[in-house]
Structure 1
Amino acid sequence: MPATKTASTCTVDDVQGSHVFSIFRYSKHRGAGLGKFIMSGVFSVGGYDWAIRFYPDGFDAHYKDYIAVYLELLSKDAKVHASCDLRLVDQSTGLSSSMDMTAPRVFNQNNLSRFAPQNATFKIRSEFEASAYLLDDHLAIECVVTVMKETRVSETRSSPKVDVPLSDITTHLGKLLKSKETADITFNVRGETFAAHRIILAMRSPVFKAELYGPIGETGTEFIHIKEMQPDVFKALLHFIYTDSLDIIDDLEGNDHSEMIRHLLVAADRYAMERLKLLCQSILCENLDVQNVATTLALADQHHCSILKDACIECISSLNIDDVVATQGYVDLRKTGPSILLDALVEMRSYKT
């Protein structure tokens, strides 16, 4: 059974508010002393009271070259999950720019965490006084406070179950081949004709692609002769191209089935269809015996099937060599490919040592 999938969501309700603290005659507030501050009016966000502190001469001697700005939580004994963004307003444009942002955290009114930020380096005083944030002895501090309220978690829900059928694209392609609908090319194989579709052949075989669409291909040809191949082999090859299956030869038995696989391996090599070639090798490897191993070894060597070739050599090493020598396949191989036998004998030594 498929795994059950469920889901839930978590969201946070928040309340946001902003307060602008305008300070006129800034120069008159200078010189009040280190640690001296001006406090804004009290404002409320999320049901809690807050205020802005401005230190024109700096928080202490370590930060005497900075102006300092703080947000302070005033509500008695309150603990608030909140964030804040302290900004300065450009007096020439009216737009504000963030100077210090405090990520969401807990503000506790009973300790120093009631202040944000936790440093006194809001802005270097000389830079501030030379900027557009101070104009006509006037500055404005904007503070945006966001209070996180309730956390809401949804009920767990199951994902809808949709039964998706297996892919049926090969079924449709098989029907397309059988119906010959929109076919744009015909092959003649020893007098028997087969209709097909150029684009599908080119998609599945680089050799077909070169022959049908390449610079020296037969692009304008609608009728092509296939030489050195039996009609039933070409039919099985087309079926595999369209369906990725060899079920068309399931009704063949014994030697007839093995012989068809051999011919299909040759066709797969001819048209550079590597998956079909590997599939044929796999089937032949599973059906090696004393009668066919020599013939299969010759086939594997001729069509560069290293996996099948190794399997043949291993099979021969496990058999009675006199039985293999007595087969017609061995006699033919000895005539046409003595070097293959020599290589096989060398390889067989490694299996027996």
Structure 2
Amino acid sequence: MAEECKISAAMVSEERSYARSYVLKVDGYSRAKALLKNGEDVASTPFSVGGHDWAVRYYPYGNDDDSTDFISLYLEPKSADAEDVKAKFTFSVLDEDGEPVPSYSCTHPIHTFSSKGDNWGYPNFVKKADLEASVHIRDDCLTIRCDVTVIHGEETTVPLTDLHQHLGDLLNNKDAADLTFQVGGQSFSAHRCVLAARSSVFKAELLGTMEESYAASPIEIRDMEADVFKSLLHFIYTDTVPPVLDVVMAGHLLVAADRYNIGRLKMICEKKLCSHIDSGMVATSLALAEQHGFHALKKACLKYLASPSNLEAMMVSDGYEHLKSSCPSVFKDLVAGILPAELKAAKDIIMTMWK
């Protein structure tokens, strides 16, 4: 099994010798699913924290009959002298930027491991269907961070922040909401101070010189779908995107984030679109990039279209006519990009044609 699916462990931070963080990479996610069944696991390479060796046991189909639909994760001491060792630990799925995904993170309070091999963890760490529908499995690799602190004596456990959960509950329960938005025939309640704190545009509109214009309720938002505004509010309150973010929603959210100057959401959505460019979507993405000045997305689209076969496929896609009519100037970049380097003079002429 070790040759088919490996879980490597690399230390990424160290607070003290008794508090360390390791990144675990499950290389061969689909292979592990094919080879293992419920109750079977693969162990990570050992790592050291607090004078003891540890490993993480990974069950792709859960460790018992009740967790078949889940991935199970357990921390296990490997040292022979691991008797009555107290430790607290956190498992977190990492996103493409190497940051923990709050909805896929679990923190365990202090547990006393009685001996070597006495593992402890989460039978229902994450539901496989939700994880596989997300963007967090890349190149058949799942990346998980394990934070372990070995406790010497008594220590108060400080859990991970749950601010996003409290603000999310505030949004969902509508407690003390003082704004109502009308979007696409649906009503949404929100809090003026939260929106102003998260968006400079909302701050100007709700607390600045335009405040009187937004005194009436409900406030109508035009040129935006209701589900897009709902996802925008969700991000404003929780700093997270939906677990399943498809490219169509990413495109709409990118425009919304640009409209309200929410920088982190812009970066997330633009990266999503850059990593999912194909012949069916590239014309639409390129038009979006050209119209709104998303430079990274435009660069990624032009790089994809530098291939003649990709360019030909784009020209028969549904979005091609829209690209021609809405962004004719982008074709100078397309043509200049596919001309060979020796035709520099021709490129210079093309680049001046639309000035």
TM-score w.r.t. the length of structure 1 is: 0.52
Contact 2:291 2:327 in 1 (8 A): no
Once the two structures are superposed, residues 230-278 of structure 1 have per-residue CA deviations (whole angstroms, 9 ceiling, x without a partner) of 111100000000001112x62x6xxxx2211111111111111111111
Matching of residue 176 in structure 1 with residue 170 in structure 2? yes
Distance 2:157 2:339 in 1: 56
Distance 1:271 1:209 in 2: 10
Kindly tell me: are residues 352 and 240 of structure 1, through their superposed partners in 2, closer, same or farther at Cα, counting changes over 3 Å?
A: farther
Q: 1:316 corresponds to which residue?
A: 305
Once the two structures are superposed, residues 124-166 of structure 1 have per-residue CA deviations (whole angstroms, 9 ceiling, x without a partner) of xxxxxxxxxxxxxxxxxxxxxxxxxxxxxxxxx9685443211
Once the two structures are superposed, residues 282-316 of structure 1 have per-residue CA deviations (whole angstroms, 9 ceiling, x without a partner) of 00111100111111001011111101110000011
Q: 1:3 corresponds to which residue?
A: 16
**Structure 2 residue corresponding to 1:274, chosen from 250, 263, 270:** 263
Q: What is the total number of aligned residue pairs between the two structures?
A: 197
Q: Please tell me the residue identity of whatever aligns with 2:321.
A: V
Contact 1:174 1:239 in 2 (8 A): yes
Contact 2:306 2:337 in 1 (8 A): no
**Structure 2 residue corresponding to 1:284, chosen from 273, 284, 306:** 273
Q: Please tell me the residue identity of whatever aligns with 1:206.
A: S
Distance 2:341 2:181 in 1: 46
Aligned-pair CA distance for 1:349: 4.4
Q: 1:337 corresponds to which residue?
A: 327
Distance 2:172 2:259 in 1: 24
Contact 2:277 2:301 in 1 (8 A): yes
Kindly tell me: are residues 171 and 158 of structure 1, through their superposed partners in 2, closer, same or farther at Cα, counting changes over 3 Å?
A: same
Kindly tell me: are residues 167 and 350 of structure 1, through their superposed partners in 2, closer, same or farther at Cα, counting changes over 3 Å?
A: farther
Q: 1:294 corresponds to which residue?
A: 283
Distance 2:169 2:342 in 1: 51
Contact 1:313 1:348 in 2 (8 A): no
Kindly tell me: are residues 238 and 319 of structure 1, through their superposed partners in 2, closer, same or farther at Cα, counting changes over 3 Å?
A: farther
For structure 1, which runs of at least 5 residues remain unmatched after alignment?
A: 7-156
Matching of residue 259 in structure 1 with residue 259 in structure 2? no
Specify the structure having the higher radius of gyration (Cα): 1
Contact 2:250 2:269 in 1 (8 A): yes
Q: 1:240 corresponds to which residue?
A: 235
Q: Counterpart of 1:260 in 2: which secondary structure?
A: helix
Highest RCO, 1 vs 2 (Cα 8 Å, sep ≥ 6)? 1
- Could you tell me the percent identity over the aligned residues? 43
Q: 1:326 corresponds to which residue?
A: 316
